[in-house]
Amino acid sequence: MSGQTVVAAATYSRAREFVKAHFNHEIIWQGAVRTSDITESDFLREAAWVIFCSGFRERTLRRHFSYLSLSFCDWESAKVISENAAACRTAALAAFNNQRKVNAVIEIARRIVRVGFPTLKDDFLSKPIEVLQTLPYIGPITVFHLAKNLGLPVAKPDRHLQRLAVALSYPDAHLLCQDIATLTGDPPQVVDLIFWRYLAETQGRWQSYAEA
């Protein structure tokens, strides 16, 4: 095992211990998501979560997401959201005043109605990253956030994980999480979640571990 991997593994071990003690339900959730089992409701909810989370504090969004879910008919179906788009838009904007994001969610629902969720899911299972990037408001970084939340074995290369990867002598977050996944048996998406949650909660204390 290289020195690079030893330090990364030690950092991950500390992060995992912390997250397991305080946010074990998140580890359980992420580990249980199976891409093949994703439903239309799951897809709508996770796409909306990533869209609204983009450029926004996760903790703040979490406080408002129950109301946003109600605004979008609790993700019952794309058809229901599409048929009630005006009411959904008005209700959602009352809690989250960003028309582009609200409209993006409605457009995803309309797309599902047009093509049918079975077709969209088949396309997604065949070419996940390519298909997800065609969704409105899903970009080159957020696509990996959504893919991870839908159960794909990928890491989200956001600025926090990228900085950690560089500090641990890795070129990017993907390779860091894949290396740790191979070493520990934890899926890359779980490794990502553990590192991300630890970074969010400890506000940079990982630096002392990475430099140890």
Q: What is the DSSP letter of 127?
A: S
Q: How far apart are CA 43 and CA 47, in angstroms?
A: 6
Q: Using one digit for the tens of pLDDT, what is the confidence trace for 124-167? A: 999 999 999 999 999 999 999 999 999 999 999 988 899 999 99
CA distance 24 to 122: 32
pLDDT tens digits, one per residue of 162-212: 999 999 999 999 999 999 999 999 999 999 999 999 998 987 555 544 444
Q: What is the pLDDT of residue 22?
A: 96
H-state helical runs in the chain? 3-32, 40-53, 58-71, 78-83, 85-95, 99-115, 117-126, 128-132, 142-149, 159-167, 173-184, 188-202, 206-210
Tell me how far apart the alpha carbons of residues 165 and 170 are, in angstroms, rounded to a whole number: 5
In this predicted structure, what is the pLDDT of residue 1?
A: 61
Tokens found for residue 211: 């430099």
Is the pLDDT reported for residue 3 higher than 60?
yes
Residue 6 has pLDDT above 90, yes or no: no
pTM here is 0.91
Please state, rounded to an integer, the average pLDDT across all residues of the chain: 93
